[in-house]
Structure 1
Amino acid sequence: MTPRARTQSAPASTTDRARGALLGLAIGDALGMPTQSLPREGIEDRYGTVEGFLDGAADQPIAPGMPAGSITDDTEQALIVARLTIAGEGIVDGHEFAAALIAWEQDMIARGSLDLLGPSTRSALATLQAGAPLEETGRYGTTNGAAMRIAPVGIAHRPGPGLVEAVVAASRVTHNTGLGISGAAAIAAAVSAGIDGADTDEALEMAHSAALEGHTRGHWVAGGSIPARFAAHRDHVRALDPASAATYLYDVVGTSVQSQESVVAALLLVDRGRLAPFDTLCTAASLGGDTDTVAAMAGAVLGAVHGPGAFPDAVLRQVLEVNDLDLDPLVRQLLAVRHTSTTTR
């Protein structure tokens, strides 16, 4: 069994919480790597409950044979967003982002990976390459691709109108819909609030408010409201025992790639995970469905609220070493953008 997180002796600093957001995203992503796109029953039969990093099995549909602790598209694309956010002094350029995503997928293909662009992103980029204007390319993007990679925008901006505008800019090319933007705004706002020192309830309140604002942006598409679904399920999920809560998340809330399912599931896991963040990410990885993305989104928020101390030392070392990650320069530069955007408003 993986050792549990160490106990923190002092509150995490702003830098620690920003680093925790990226680490939590990577840890959740890597925990869900071997179980992604599998039904819950199949995960239970093969693994029981995920308790730590696992190798991708030979028959894993997306990540066959990947070593334990490996990240997937969630973290890799979030790092692209981080670099473009820094380059754009807080705002992601849509055309540069599209080019970076196309280059990323070509690199993945060259490496023989099956972990490629999601359906909304691929469709949007094809539309852009066919000559459509940027404002139209993401008009049908309702999946969680924008939300899974948005954490760096939350690090670079404090909660407020500027954050939502930055989320729109980072989402527009692939997920320019109320659902896509609402989901991304919820995750970014919760991360941003956590970095400011918010506790779980405060971070989720910010997520709810930002999701409401995000729902009014972009193109309208039919689908249940993310903030309304979160509010409707929250008290019930809080009252359930762990096994019943996992069943409810999978069967009722949903863990598909659709934002109104997976983003809501991630936020509900954050609500339940305030006392045991790492165990909560293991639960997310065990749910079935889009496990790597649900766990990555929940991990980003939990890491922002609690800092790296939310996760065991051995887990932190493994995810950094396996993926050769050096997050500290990105954290420093994202926080520099955050400071600049705050002091210049």
Structure 2
Amino acid sequence: MTTCDSQTMDRALGALSGLSLGDALGMPTQSMSDQDIKTTYGRISTLRDAVHEQPIAPDMPAGSVTDDTDQALIVADLLIQGEGHIDPQTFAQSLLRWEDSMRARGSHDLLGPSTKLALEEVRAGADIAGTGKTGCTNGAAMRVTPVGIATPIKGDTDRFARRVYESCQVTHDTLPGFQGAALVAAAVSYGMNGADTHQALQSALTAVSGMQVPAAWSPKANVLTRARISIDLAQASASISNDEFEDRLRAECGSSVEANESVPTAFALAWRFAEKPTEALLSAANLGGDTDTIAAMAGAVLGACNGIGGFPKDLLDQVASVSKLDLAPIARRLVNLRNRQDRRAQ
């Protein structure tokens, strides 16, 4: 393996590991208010068991991942099988099988609202060309990291947009759903190319603003505009405390499952903590709202830009052990897929 390939592999593994670590750090606080988090846990400063009262993941042990990581690995598997493509019908069936398996194990941690609605329509025999037309949440963004790892963005943003859209269509076939996913995937892909975090975030905003896909219009606030505002907030708040910054994120960006809140908030955290990736994930875990997904998205971007060394090995090892993850072979296959696509473009 060449030095260049070693660096690329390190960033790919960093993206997947950052995603899973963020997911696990946010697991015990997901869907809770910031005040409930403080009352229940104090402040999250490491991996924690979920309390019995946790609304989504009661009693899950520290280091457990959620649907964010599970679905990202489904996307990775489909990309590898499809040589860079995801067939929407195959994807829908894979998600349905995953949901059934989670139910059989008694898990409460199932699908987000947009994905659940779309897949109920698929089960009922609906045409997948129309099932994602109301999906404006972050379900596509939380699972899209493998697309960013496997797909070069430089030189062919149209191809990149098509690959992201393939991962969105069945559940999030809307402009907010697509833009949220495209921003995360693009930032990861730029990180894979060697960009630092600030460069990757800015480049992603520029690239996605020019992408055209047949996604449905939505009256909701624009994801790109809010992401730019969130980065402005992070830049303007450099001198304030982390507590004050988190208060401003809640008030000015939001931390709900909506793509136009959670993706911009993840970008703001990645910007502020560009050189302290773990701090970004811990901040996300304490925000309240969709903590696991915000932390997972920020972790993916920061991991792609900093490599796996940006995160504590003991925490990564705990997540891998508890959640039975073996990410290195997946990262290697995605990097090989990226390299093949790079060669075809030359």
**Could you say whether these structures have the same fold, taking a TM-score greater than 0.5 normalized by the shorter chain as the test?**
yes
Query: Contact (CA 8 Å) 2:231, 2:267: kept in 1 or not?
Result: no
Find the counterpart in structure 2 of residue 285 from structure 1: 285
Superposed displacement of residue 217, structure 1: 4.0
Deviations 1:250-288 (A, max 9, x none): 122000000000001001111011121101100000000
Deviations 1:79-104 (A, max 9, x none): 00000011111111111110110111
Matched, 1:189 2:183: no
Which of 137, 145, 152 is residue 158 of structure 1 equivalent to? 152
Superposed displacement of residue 216, structure 1: 5.5
Query: Contact (CA 8 Å) 2:162, 2:213: kept in 1 or not?
Result: no
- Where 1:148 maps in the other structure, the secondary structure is helix
Find the counterpart in structure 2 of residue 20 from structure 1: 14
Query: Contact (CA 8 Å) 1:182, 1:210: kept in 2 or not?
Result: no
**CA separation in 1, counterparts of 2:38 and 2:244?**
15
**CA separation in 1, counterparts of 2:6 and 2:315?**
18
Which of 174, 179, 182 is residue 177 of structure 1 equivalent to? 174
Structure 1 residues not aligned, in runs of 5+: 1-10
Find the counterpart in structure 1 of residue 223 from structure 2: 226
Query: Contact (CA 8 Å) 1:182, 1:215: kept in 2 or not?
Result: no
Superposed displacement of residue 130, structure 1: 2.8
**CA separation in 2, counterparts of 1:251 and 1:194?**
29
Q: TM-score, normalised by structure 1?
A: 0.94
Query: Contact (CA 8 Å) 1:178, 1:214: kept in 2 or not?
Result: no
Find the counterpart in structure 2 of residue 265 from structure 1: 265
Superposed displacement of residue 233, structure 1: 3.2
User: Which contiguous aligned blocks of 4+ residues in structure 1 show a shift greater than 6 angstroms?
Assistant: none
Matched, 1:127 2:124: no
Corresponding pairs, count: 336
- Overall identity of the aligned pairs, in %: 47
Which of 84, 87, 90 is residue 90 of structure 1 equivalent to? 84
Query: Contact (CA 8 Å) 2:165, 2:213: kept in 1 or not?
Result: no
Q: TM-score, normalised by structure 2?
A: 0.94
Which of 53, 70, 80 is residue 76 of structure 1 equivalent to? 70
Q: What is the root-mean-square deviation of aligned Cα atoms in Å?
A: 1.6
**CA separation in 1, counterparts of 2:57 and 2:211?**
32
**CA separation in 1, counterparts of 2:273 and 2:158?**
28
Which of 60, 68, 71 is residue 66 of structure 1 equivalent to? 60
Find the counterpart in structure 2 of residue 325 from structure 1: 325
Farther-moved stretch of structure 1 (25-34 vs 125-134):
125-134
Which of 191, 202, 207 is residue 205 of structure 1 equivalent to? 202
Query: Contact (CA 8 Å) 1:49, 1:283: kept in 2 or not?
Result: no
Structure 2 residues not aligned, in runs of 5+: none
Instruction: Name the aligned partner's letter for residue 334 of structure 2.
Output: L
**CA separation in 1, counterparts of 2:195 and 2:294?**
21
Superposed displacement of residue 213, structure 1: 3.8
Query: Contact (CA 8 Å) 2:161, 2:212: kept in 1 or not?
Result: no
- Where 2:147 maps in the other structure, the secondary structure is helix
Q: What are the residue-to-residue correspondences of 1:96-111 with 2, within 5 Å? A: 96-111=90-105
Query: Contact (CA 8 Å) 1:36, 1:291: kept in 2 or not?
Result: yes
**CA separation in 2, counterparts of 1:268 and 1:217?**
28
Deviations 1:127-171 (A, max 9, x none): 223333222110101000000000000000011222211000111
Instruction: Name the aligned partner's letter for residue 155 of structure 1.
Output: I
Instruction: Name the aligned partner's letter for residue 80 of structure 2.
Output: I
